[in-house]
Amino acid sequence: MSETDSTTIRVPILARVEGEGALDLVIKDRQIESLALRIYEPPRYFEKFLEGRSVDELPEMVARICGICPVAYQMSAVRAVESLFEGEITPWVAQMRRLFYCGEWIQSHSLHIHLLAAPDFLGHQHIISMATEYPDEVRRGLRLQGLGNRIIALLGGRSVHPVGARVGGFHHAPSKIAISELLLEAKRAVEDAEALLRWLVTLELPQEPQDFISVALDEAGVYPIMGEQIHSDAGLDLPIAEFEQHFEEHQVPHSTAFHALLDGEPYLVGPLARINLHHKRLLPAVQSLCKSLGIHFPSRNMFDSVIARGVELLQATHETVALLEQYHTPQQPWSEFRPKAGSAFAATCAPRGVLWHRYQINDQGIIQAARIVPPTSQNQARMEADLRYSLNQFGLEQEEEAIKRYGEQVIRNYDPCISCATHFLDLRLKRV
């Protein structure tokens, strides 16, 4: 294609992402003139309609932000309320929240690896066609996804918009019979997750190292799921209550989701960022399998995100087995919390990264103001920076179809959840 060629293509929908967005790209003289990840998922105004609601209604309402990671929203919300109110959760509740969250990681990571990402690396359009060539791999993936859903349903009654969580703990403690049934399945799932990781390392992933800042929560002594501090690999170590002093969201005209910056710079949240910061806290069994498979972190290659998800999935299945083995029936599955007026903060590790909540609450437990910063809006600026870099490396002289496909892959590395950030991606490429 000569430099004087001028072409405009419009691919109506980018598939295999959660939500509606588009990529607008203008290439002039073999250079990117403009690039915008355009999110047009309509806003749903959650932060506004939470005003005037009781904290008791929060778990039900915030879950509806995202069908794929409702547990993350519920856990950030109840932990925020508990950080302000007077009371204390029991060790049982802390363990069951970790189990609940492991279920969501297993479900979400498995869904992303098999339904959204793997077809890219295996030359398929979707999982249905992939299933004809890789039936065992697909079945294994769907089994893992099913396990994740069953863990969530154990504590939440169902996997999408679960109903078990409340301020102070859970409405209901699972029966020992339900625990022992799930334990059998979880033990088999460890083998599935190991086989999955062995398979993932055989995929031919593009090798494109680049510079970026990784940001993740820190949870004392363990691989983080809940968070107390916010860490970055550039030395940031911040209590979650001070998030707003360093992280700023701003509106860009092409998006209904805000762009977030850390001290003015794009940054990465999610599995790869977590593992870059905390790989030494993975369980010994997970570390040793990684070592034997030649998996090394930290990684600067965004395509290693799919490996990072596989590693976290294995970690979560091991943790699930351990948590189920230690299970005991509590006297009461929740503890009382007394309302108190003030600001409430919490952040947890959603499958896609840091999910930060802040509420202003009065002494009756009614929400006066809410602010929710989801992972995908934090990754948006980073995705645009990555696309600029990666498409240049890929070669802007390539065929449009190839550019489109590669751009979609770059975006999928971030597993964007556009419903969360506000959800269709279509690519409009213009050459001038």
Partner 1 sequence: MSRVANRPTVSVHKFSSCDGCQLAFLNMGEGLIDLAQQVEIVHFAEAGMVAPERATDITFVEGSVSTPEDQERIQQIRQRSGLLITIGACATSGGIQALRNLQGEDWRASLYATPETIASLATSTPISDHVKVDLELWGCPIRSEQLLPLLHDLLHGVQPGKMEEPLCQSCKRSGVICTVVSQGKPCMGPVTRGGCGAVCPRMGRDCYGCSGPIDHPNRAALERCLEGLGLLPDTIQRRFKMIHATQFGGDHRREKA
Q: Which residues bind partner 1 (CB under 8 A)?
A: 12-20, 40-45, 47-49, 53-54, 57, 60-61, 64-68, 70, 111, 115-116, 119, 125-128, 131, 138-139, 142-143, 145-146, 149, 157-161, 163-164, 166, 171-172, 250-251, 253-254, 256, 417, 419, 423-424
Q: Closer to partner 1 by CB, 41 or 386: give it.
A: 41
Query: In the bound complex, what is the minimum distance in angstroms from residue 157's beta carbon to partner 1?
Result: 4
Q: DSSP of 370-420, one letter per residue?
A: EEEE-HHHHHHHHHHHHHHHHHHHH-TTS-HHHHHHHHHHHHHTT--BHHH
Shortest CB 188 distance to partner 1, Å: 15
Tell me how far CA of residue 424 lies from CA of 195, 418, 429, in angstroms.
32, 8, 16
Query: Shortest approach of partner 1 to residue 254 CB, angstroms?
Result: 8
Minimum Å distance from CB 256 to partner 1? Answer: 6
Quote the CA–CA distance of 343 and 324 in Å, as a whole number. Answer: 35
Backbone phi, psi, residue 350, to 5°: -60, 160
The torsion angles phi and psi of 109, rounded to 5 degrees, stand at: -65, -40
Which residues lie across from 22 on neighbouring strands?
38
Closest CB to partner 1 among residues 119, 271: 119
Count other C-beta atoms under 10 Å from residue 402's C-beta.
11
The residue among 279 and 423 lying less far from partner 1, judged by its C-beta, is 423
- Give least dist CB 39 to partner 1, A: 11
What DSSP element (H or E) covers 291?
A: helix 284-292
- CA dihedral 198→204→209→214, nearest 10 degrees, is -40
Q: Which is nearer to partner 1, 203 or 322 (CB)?
A: 203
DSSP notation for 129-144: HHHHH-HHHHHHHHHH
**16 or 309, CB closer to partner 1?**
16
Q: Taking the complex as a whole, how short is the minimal distance between the CB of residue 297 and partner 1, in angstroms?
A: 29
Nearest-CA neighbor of 10 among 29, 32, 38? 38
Backbone φ and ψ for 428, nearest 5 degrees, come out as -115, 115
**Choice between 251 and 392, CB closer to partner 1:** 251
Q: Which two tokens stand for residue 388?
A: 């600029």
Q: Which residues of 129-163 are buried (b: 16+ CB within 10 A; e: fewer)?
A: ebbeebeebbebbbebbbbbbbbbbbbbeebebbb
Nearer to partner 1, 59 or 227 (CB): 59
CB of 212 to partner 1, least distance (A): 26
Is the Cβ–Cβ distance between 336 and 223 less than 8 Å? no
Q: How far is the CB of 293 from partner 1 (least distance, A)?
A: 27
CB nearer to partner 1: pick between 259 and 278:
259
Q: Would you say 109 or 279 has its CB closer to partner 1?
A: 109
Structure tokens at 369: 């103001």
**Taking the complex as a whole, how short is the minimal distance between the CB of residue 226 and partner 1, in angstroms?**
22
Among candidates 14, 3, 21, 1, which has minimal Cα distance to 419?
21
Shortest separation between residue 262's beta carbon and partner 1, angstroms: 20
Determine the Cα–Cα distance for residues 49 and 372; give it in Å rounded to an integer: 13
Cβ nearer to partner 1, comparing 8 with 129? 129
Shortest distance, CB of residue 13 to partner 1, whole angstroms? 5
Closer residue to partner 1, CB minimum distance, 64 or 176: 64
Tokens of 331: 């006297």
Q: Is 353 helix (H, G, I), strand (E, B) or coil?
A: strand
